[in-house]
Chains A and B, each alone.
Chain A
Amino acid sequence: MTAQMWMLLGGFVLAVWLIALPLGRWLALVSERAPRPLAGIEASLLRACGVSGEEQGWRGYAGALLLFNLIGVIALYALQRLQPGLPLNPQQFAAPTWDSALNTAVSFVTNTNWQGYGGESTMSHLTQMLGLTVQNFLSAATGIAVAFALMRGFARSGAGGIGNFWVDLLRITLWLLLPLSFLLALAFAAQGVIQNLSPDLTVTLLEPLHADAGTVGTQTLAMGPVASQEAIKMLGTNGGGFMNANSAHPFENPTAWTNVLQMLAIFAIPAGLCMAFGRLVGDRRQGWALLAAMTVLFVAAVIGIMSLEQAGNPHLAAIGVDQAASALQAGGNMEGKEVRFGVAASALFAAITTAASCGAVNAMHASLTPLAGGITMLLMQLGEVVFGGVGSGLYGMLLFAVLAVFVAGLMTGRTPAYLGKKIEPAEMKWVAVAILVTPLLVLSGTALAVSSETGRAGLLNPAAAGFSEVLYAFSSAANNNGSAFAGLSANTPFYNLTLAIAMALGRFAVIVPVLALAGALAARTRAVRDPAAAQDAAMPTHGPMFVVLLVLTVLLVGALTYLPALALGPVVEHINLYR
C-alpha cells in the first residue's frame, strides 16, 4: 500500500459517507411520498396509467414486479432482433443471434448487465438508448422498490400491505434516478465523455501502421450517446458498457476525475439506502450499523487487492521490467490497466464494482494478479451485500442481519428479534431460501460448465486460470454483477443460455422470498411500540458487537460455501505464480 493508495481509499470512504447522509434523507422521503411541488404531476401520470395506488400485499407486489420485468425482457429482446430495420443504426449492425439477444435482455432486466457482445460493434444507437438505457433505469428502480418494501416490512406493525409497486417504480425513476443521472451525464460530458448520434469516424494516423497485412493509415473511432448511458450505468449499479472495454474506454471514462465520479456514483445509492433504512425504522443507528459492516468488509478487500496489484507480476520482474512505484510511474501489475488510473484507482474500482453488484470495469479483471482476482470473486460470492446493488445490497444485507440475530438468539437462548419484530420459522424459511439460491446457482453452473465439452471450449487461459474464468462468470451472473474474466468466449448458445438462467433465478428467486419476508414482517405486530426501546429488551443491533457479528455471519456463509472452489482457481494460480 503506497501513500497514494491510503489517501485514495480514505478520501473515497469519507466521500461516500458524506453523500449517504443527504441522499438517505431523500430516499426516505421518496419511499413515503412524492416531493411536494411534484405530487400533482405524479398523481396525474399514475391516473393516466390506470394505477389506483392502493396498498398491495406481498403477493400483489411481487406479481406486479414480475409482470413488469417480463414485459421488459420481451421488449428488449424484440428491439435487438428488429434493430436492422429500425432508425438510428448508422453502422447498419445486424441483429444479434437469438441466444445472445435473450442473454442480453435477461442480463439488463436483472440489473446484471453481463455482456456477451461488444457494445460498439453490435448495438445500434437506438438499441443502446431505447433498450439498454431504459433497462438501466428500470432494473435499478425495481431493486430499490424491493428494498423499500422490505424497509416497510420492518417499519410497519400489523399491516396488510408493503406498498404499491407501480407507485414505487414511477417515484424512484422520476424523482431519484432521472435527476441524478441528468446531472452526472452533464458532468461526464464536461470532462470529455462523448454524447452524439454520429456514425463511426475515420481519422488519419500520425504515423502509418505497418502490420502483417500491409500498411494502414487510418483509425476508426466508435461514436454514440455515451454520457447519458454512463451516468445511469453507474448510479443504478448496472455496469453494462456502451463500449466493449467499458469504463476503461477513454470515451466512457476519460480522466482521473470521471473515474472518481464513477466510483462514487456506484456506492451512492447503496450507502444512502442504509441511511434511509435507519430513518424509516425510527432509529438511525440501525442504518449506521449496516453501513459500518459494509465498510469494514469493503476496506479489507481494497487493502488486499491494492497490495497484491502493487506487488506486480514476478514473471515480469524476472525479465527486467521495472514495476516499482515512483514519482514517474505507478508501477505494479499494469497488464489490462490504463495509465491514467494506474494501479491504485484500478484496484479501488475493481473492489467497488464487485462489492456493489455493478460490474463496470476500468481494468481487465482476468489480468489481475490471481489472489486479487479471487478477492473480486469473493466479494460477489458473499451475495453482493458489501454495499451491493441498488436496493439488492440493502435487502441482501438485511437477510444476513436477520440470520445474525437468529444465530445470536440460538446462542443466548433468547427468542430472536430484530427491531422489535420476533423472527420465527416463517421468516427464517424465506431468509434461508433467499440466501441459498445464489450459491446453488454458482456452484452447479460452474460444475456443469467445466464438466462439459462445450463449456470448456470457451476458455482462453490454461489450467486454474481457465477454471477461474468459469467460476467468475457464474458468480457474476447469479449475483447479478455482470463483470467478467473476459477471456471466456461466452457468446455461445451454451453460455448465453446457462448464464441467462443463472441471472434470472439469481434475481427473481431472491426477490420473491424477500417480498414474502417483507409481507410476514409487516403483518407482525411489534412487541414494544418504540423500536429503539425494543432494542434494549433484546440484543442491541446497532453497536460494534452487532457489526462484528454481522460481518462474521456474512464471511462465514460465504467462506464455507466457496472456499473449496476458490482453492481450485485463484489460490492454485497464486501458488503457481510464486513457485
Chain B
Amino acid sequence: MNAALHALRPALSLFLLLSALTGLAYPLLVTALAQTLFPERAAGSLIRDGEQLTGSALIGQPFSSPGHFWSRPSATATQPYNGAASGGNNLGANNRVLVDAAAQRIAALRAADPDNRAPVPVDLVTASASGLDPDISLAAARYQAARVARARGVAPAAVEALIERHARHPWLGFVGEPRVNVLALNRALDALR
C-alpha cells in the first residue's frame, strides 16, 4: 500500500503532463499547421458553387436519374451517403439479403438501360465499406455511358471522352485502382450544356 501511495505522485503528474502534450498540444498544433499549409484539404476538400457548399471532392453522393452516372449502393443509416453515419452493411457472402439486394440493383440498372446485356461490374451492385465511396471503377462508368448519353441526348463519344478525362489509373500499375470520381464526372456532365 505504501508503495502504491509512493507511486501515486509520478503516476498522476505524468498522466497530466502527457495528456496535455498528446491530447491538447499535439492535435492543436497539427490543426494550426494543417490549416495553414493545406487549408482546403484540412477543411474537407469542399466544393463551392458561389456561396453554396455543394459537396466534398472526397465524399460520394447518391444518384438515380438516368442522365447521371450512378454511385455505388450505400448502407449508411437513415439515408444513403449520410456523411454523419458512415458504415457498410456487414452482410456475409452467404447472406440471402446481400444476394437479393444485388439482384434488385441489377434489375434497376437494366430497367434504366434495357438494351445493355453486358454483365454488371461488381462495384456497381455491392455496398462500399464507408457508404461514402466517391468512386466507381472505369468498368462501371463505361457500363453506364450509353444510358447517360441517351438520356442527355448527347453523342456517346462525348460521354466516353468525359470519362477518359476524369479517369484515374494506378501508379506504376499497382498503387491505386482504375476509377473515376462520380460527383466530379456528373458535375462535368451538367456543365456540358
Contact = CB atoms under 8 A, between A and B. Distances in A.
Q: Do the two chains bind?
A: yes
Contacts of B166: none
Interface stretch (A247-255, A286-294, A423-431, A448-456): A247-255
Interface string B17-56: 1110111101101110111011001111111000011111
A51 interface: yes
A367 B93 CA distance: 6
Interface in A41-68: 45, 48-51, 60, 63-64, 67-68
A151 to B, nearest CB: 22
Interface in A227-249: 227-229, 232, 243-245, 248-249
Contact of B91 (A3, A67, A367): A367
B122 interface: yes
Contacts of A415: none
10 contacts: A8-B174, A200-B84, A204-B55, A210-B64, A222-B86, A316-B102, A330-B178, A334-B123, A364-B89, A367-B89
B83 A220 contact: yes
Contacts of A514: none
Contact of B7 (A67, A335, A366, A367): A67
Q: Closest 5 interchain pairs by CB?
A: A248-B129, A256-B176, A245-B86, A465-B92, A329-B137
Given A205-B55, A250-B134, A195 B35 contact: yes
A186 interface: yes
A131 interface: yes
A493 interface: no
Interface residues of B, number: 110
A336 B99 CA distance: 13
B147 interface: no
Contacts of A342: 177
Contacts of B58: 192, 250-251, 254
Contacts of B56: 203, 221, 250
Contact of B63 (A173, A207, A336, A341): A207
A137 interface: yes
B59 interface: yes
Interface residues of A, number: 134
Nearest to B125: A321
B127 interface: yes
Contacts, number: 401
B139 A133 contact: no
A66 to B, nearest CB: 9
Given A49-B14, A189-B30, A227-B34, A329 B92 contact: no
B171 A222 contact: no
A209 B71 CA distance: 12
A137 B90 CA distance: 30
Interface in B114-140: 118-123, 125-140
B88 A129 contact: no
A362 to B, nearest CB: 7
B22 A67 contact: no
A206 B23 contact: no
Contact of A321 (B86, B119, B187): B119
- Name the residue in B57, B131, B173, B176 with the highest tally of chain A Cβ atoms < 10 Å from its Cβ: B176
B161 interface: no
A577 B99 CA distance: 12
Contacts of A138: 15, 18, 22
B126 A130 contact: no
Interface in A478-508: 485-487
A181 interface: yes
Nearest to A229: B27
B61 A219 contact: yes
B84 A206 contact: no
Given A178-B21, A332-B122, A335-B98, 5 more contacts: A4-B170, A7-B173, A134-B22, A210-B64, A368-B93
A336 B81 CA distance: 14
Nearest to B67: A207
Nearest to A60: B3
Contacts of B106: 319-321
Given A312-B122, A320-B106, A339-B133, A487 B91 contact: yes
Contact of A207 (B65, B142, B173, B176): B65
Nearest to B68: A207
A573 B94 contact: yes
Given A63-B3, A339-B136, A221 B186 contact: no
A223 to B, nearest CB: 7
Contacts of B138: 327-329
B175 A8 contact: yes
Contact of B34 (A195, A220, A255): A195
A160 to B, nearest CB: 16
Nearest to B44: A194
B12 interface: yes
Nearest to A461: B92
A67 B173 CA distance: 51
B99 A319 contact: yes
A196 interface: yes
A138 B103 CA distance: 48
A257 B121 CA distance: 25
B155 interface: no
A98 interface: no
